[in-house]
Amino acid sequence: MIRLREVEKTFHAGTVNEVRALRRVSLEISDAAFVVVLGTNGSGKSTLLNALAGSFPLDAGTIELDGSDVTRWPEHRRARFIGRVFQNPFSGTAPAMSIAENFALAMRRGRRRGLGWALPRSLRRELAERVCSLKMGLEDRLDTAIGTLSGGQRQALTLLMATWLRPRLLLLDEHTAALDPKSADQVIRLTEEIVTRDRLTTLMVTHSMQQAVNLGERIVMMHRGAVVHDAAGPDKHRLRVDDLLARFEDIRRRELLDPTAAELLAAAYV
Amino acid sequence: MTLLLGALTLGLIMSLIALGVYVSFRIFGLADITVDGSLTFGAAVTAVLIVVHGVNPALATAAGFAAGVVAGCATGLLQTRFRIDPLLSGILVMTALYSVNLRVMGRSNIPFLGATTLATWSERLARRGLGAGDVALFGWSVNGQDLALLGLIAAIVALAAGALYWFFRTDIGTAMRASGDNAQMIRALGANVEAYRVVGLALSNGLVGLAGSLWAQYQSFADAQMGIGMIVWGLASVIIGQALTGAPSLGYAIVGTVLGSVLFRLLVAIALGFGLNPNDLKLITALFVFVALVLPSALARLPWDRQRWARRSEPAEVPT
């Protein structure tokens, strides 16, 4: 169970670039829920994920993970519970290191790292099996530097790394946005497979309406740092791409009406 | 032959500087100028312990390593705890160390004179094992004492390089390498990147302090000026080492760095033998590093290498 209470975050506070990225966001996510976060650019959806991961301190509010208050935990401490895949396929892997070494790092996510050998033989065997399941032919290239692989391959490996030790929360930040359609499709299928198999609590940010409709059991729409719509269960499954577009259109129209015009209208007609 | 032996010995001692610079420059991507101060710091601490306090030379050498570790920690903490620019952090600590070194030594130069050092130990060893005179080696007659010292230094360097390799293959060392390669990734995998930076710089400067300690014992004095320009020497060795082995793999890189330092020292010894003015040495080293840094991209811009040019002009990163 993940609980966000009144989470606030403003970047560059007090300057002309002030951005209120999260405005009193409260959210409860039950175990094994697959939540899709949808929103326009700058709506705060990535900020929401980063807040959960602990990339920056909050201005206000609390975050609870499985009953423990992690609000003040630094990012590396929260990593014990959280697996992440970033939008940029280059962000999730160490490019100069081999596939095997990257997995050795993922094997110890959030655990103590000591002076034990990072790549014992037993790990290599297990690794080859798992990487084989990707059907990308990478199992023979475990000693290749990961930086030489394509974005799609790296993203698939990152996903595998993030879920190797079952995370209590999986954060996917537009993890297919930078990929070509074929790789994106492959990574999405892999995501669905892993999330369903391991019953992972997942938060996936996307701005693909199609993905939002097809995946997950709950949809959270964000706009200007706030949750504007939240649909789960049957409501979510009834949503189609057109419905989502209509909702965004609604929001946009409401916004075109600037506050002074709204006041005039209110004075004239109410 | 004595000249060759000397160049080899000094090259091996300085390879410890190169290994230290390898850690800061290749693993963390920093040019850590603390090296210039920590080399002297290691030498100063060892010299004072041996000459003034009569401490066992092995212990004094270990203390030289520890001195470097302290210097590296200081730079690391400036960078992480106080968020000072890495280059500036190094400059600050290097500058501060200059005074610290003078304080430690009490004057700008401490000669070892008759004090017992690792060099005297190896001399004794040579006298017992090889006899007092010269030794025949591959047809050359070689001073046994020089040979014993070379052997001792080679053993220390082999030990340090082996330990470094082993460390960087452990869980903690692998994570440290990753923290220099992709900090965002390893943070998401639960590593405290800042702590790794401090430990890495401590290790790096520890090796440099050890080099300073051995160097002082080899040349029989410690001097407040001996560290100047050593970062550039280390960079040059790392670059030569990479050119020698080519492979980015850890083992090759470490061996290459040691070989690079030895080879560079040999070249310098030969050039000095042909009448190169020693005063020009640092200028030449700096020019060498400049050329080595600029050459790859300059070569890539030449028209005959169109394929490589085409690859370079592709967008390097996916827009976020």
Q: Is residue B150 part of a domain?
A: yes
How many domains are contained in chain B? 1
Q: Three-class SS of residue B90?
A: helix
Chain A residues in contact with B172 (beta carbon < 8 A): 113-115
* B273 occurs within a structural domain: no
Band of pLDDT at residue A262, cut at 50, 70 and 90: low
Q: Determine how many CB atoms are found less than 10 A away from the CB of residue B316.
A: 7
Residue B295: band (very low, low, confident or very high) from pLDDT cuts 50, 70, 90: confident
Residue of B184, B185, B193, B250 to mutate when probing chain A, most A C-beta within 10 A: B185
Q: How far is CA B307 from CA B243, B311, B318, in A?
A: 22, 6, 21
Question: Is pLDDT larger for residue B77 or for residue A15?
Answer: B77
Interchain CB contact of A53 with B (< 8 Å):
yes
Query: Does residue A188 sit within a domain?
Result: yes
Residues A79, A82, A88, CA angle at the centre, nearest 5°? 90
Please indicate, yes or no, if residue A112 is contained in any of the structural domains. no
Q: Which residues of A touch B188 (CB under 8 A)?
A: 53, 75, 79, 82, 84, 86, 92, 162
Structural domain contains residue B314: no
Shortest distance between the Cα of B205 and any Cα of chain A, in A, equals 21
C-alpha span between B173 and A97 (Å, rounded): 12
Task: Compare all CA atoms of chain B with the CA of A146 and give the residue at the minimum distance.
Answer: B181
Q: Among A47, A41, A86, A55, which Cα is nearest to A178's?
A: A86
Is B141 inside a domain boundary? yes
Task: Give how far B206 is from chain A: nearest CA, Å.
Answer: 19
CATH number at residue A220: 3.40.50.300
Joined together, the tokens standing for residue A94 give 């160490």
| Residues of the domain holding B57 | 2-227
The answer to whether the complex's ipTM is over 0.90 is: no
**Angle formed by the axes of helices B193-219 and B171-181, nearest 10°:** 100
Containing structural domain, residue A58: 2-94+151-239
- Note whether B266 and B8 are within 8 A (CB): yes
Q: How far is the alpha carbon of B147 from chain A, nearest alpha carbon, in Å?
A: 35
Are B229 and B27 spatial neighbours (Cβ–Cβ below 8 Å)? Answer: no
Which residues of chain A have a CB within 8 Å of the CB of B193? Answer: 76
- Choose, out of B22, B26, B28, B182, the residue to mutate when testing the contact with A (most A CBs < 10 Å): B182
Number of domains within chain A: 1
Euclidean distance between CA atoms B251 and B245, whole angstroms = 10
Asked if residue A21 belongs to a domain, the reply is yes
A74 has a chain B CB within 8 A of its CB: yes
pLDDT digits (tens, 9 = 90+) for B230-275: 999 999 999 988 888 876 789 999 999 999 999 999 999 998 888 8
Is A269 within the bounds of a domain? no
**Residue B18 counted as domain residue:** yes
For A89, the closest chain B residue by CA position comes to: B318
Whether A218 is in a domain gets the answer: yes
* pLDDT above 60 for A230: yes
Instruction: Calculate how close chain B gets to A226, using CA atoms only, in Å.
Output: 22
Task: Please indicate, yes or no, if residue A120 is contained in any of the structural domains.
Answer: no
**Spatial contact of B51 and B110, defined as CB atoms under 8 Å apart:** yes
Residues of A in contact with B316 (CB under 8 A): none
Does residue B306 form part of some domain? no
Residue A116 lies in a domain: no
In a domain, B103, yes or no: yes
Reported as a single tens digit per residue, the pLDDT across B79-114 is 999 999 999 999 999 999 999 999 999 999 999 988
Reduced to 3 states (helix: H, G, I; strand: E, B; else coil), residue B258 is helix
- Where does the pLDDT of residue A270 fall: very low under 50, low under 70, confident under 90, or very high at 90 and above? low
Cβ contact B188–A93 (<8 Å): no
Whether B67 maps to a domain, the answer reads yes
